[in-house]
Amino acid sequence: MDELTLAQNVKRALYRLIAASMMMSAVAGCTSISYYVQSLQGHAEIMAARKSVAGLVDNPATPEPLRARLEEASAIRQFATDSLGLPDNNSYRSYVDVGRDYVTLAVFAAPEFSLAPMTWCVPVYGCVPYRGYFSKQGAVETATGLKAQGLDVHVSGVTAYSTLGWSSDPLLNTMLRQDDTYLAGLVFHELAHQRVYVNGDSAFNEAFAVAVETSGVKRWLRETGNLAGLRGYEAEIKRGNDFYALVAQARSDLAQIYDGPASIQSKRTAKAAAIERLRTRYRITRDRRWGGYRGYDAWFDSPINNAKLAATTVYSDQVPAFLHLFDLCSGNYARFYAAVRRLGALEREQREDALKATNGCGAASR
């Protein structure tokens, strides 16, 4: 199929998807319709720009640095299927340079005195605690509107995303910004969403994908003999755990403030003080425990609010429970995925309780 025919087919598919989305969102008004249009159009443009990784590797015109990264990406992709039991399909076997640092921007929002994020419901994915935009203008306009309502808002760049297997997701230039360990983590994480995904439970989905990412990267580094890389990755995980512990402490402090009887102004003052204590704890951890490692400086130097804390927590709260379940399944990915699917079939409250209480790989079925 030539590029023109492909573009025409994608355009026709886009129109069909827009029509379906319009029918699903008709009761929600024009804002929802325009949101679906930008989402589908942005994705369709990326799909139409895909180039085969194998073709780029074989093409003498491909710059050598890109060729080397794509060769390693191809090996990582094969490892995902052969060793981690992740889907054997065309996802991450093509490549697109989107011409920017992030493929999408995610807008998070939360009330001024609550740590519970706002959620938005969309077709396929269910309800999620963010609004994603291919357009910076769209993200900024939404963030501005939410701030005008008195909400805490956080906008974050996203380097990769998954369509859950509905289309063959490509590798993106944004995924190649860091080293191969980072790339492997992204590929394993996004493919995990294709293996198990529960509509409307982002905390469950993201923690599961992080567990696959973490265990998968460790296995990849061990099996490729990169022991120095493994030591570095394990040190990075420890720092990440420290970071999430700092955030958890701040959330606990803030929850007590928000639940208390103080006046609005007093709560604002106490909130600001709690966030400054978080920054102080971070600097102590950085300088005394991490030996001056500054990889998290940018996060702490930029504004911190309820929305930013909520966005961080989505990816972290349930990860230890999933890693524990993986160990109970003896590191067998097929058994692990089966156990996670059984958990995913439960009602949300039952799912959370069962994950916390799991004491065996098969126990998730009870």
The pTM (predicted TM-score) of the whole model is: 0.86
- CA-to-CA dists, residue 223 to 130, 183, 228, 230, 323, angstroms: 36, 16, 13, 10, 19
10 Å Cβ neighbour count for 357? 11
10 Å Cβ neighbour count for 299? 13
What element of type H or E holds 108?
strand 104-110
- Residue 14: the pLDDT is 44
pLDDT band, residue 37 (cuts 50/70/90): confident
pLDDT tens profile 326-339: 999 999 999 999 99
The label of the residue with tokens 């944004």 reads 174
Q: In whole angstroms, what is the distance from residue 200 CA to residue 177 CA?
A: 30
For residue 296, the SS3 value is coil
Give the DSSP letter of residue 178.
Answer: S
Question: Quick check: 358 and 366 in contact, CB under 8 A?
Answer: no
What element of type H or E holds 3?
helix 3-25
Q: In whole angstroms, what is the distance from residue 302 CA to residue 47 CA?
A: 34
pLDDT tens profile 184-206: 999 999 999 999 999 888 889 99
Give the DSSP letter of residue 282.
Answer: H
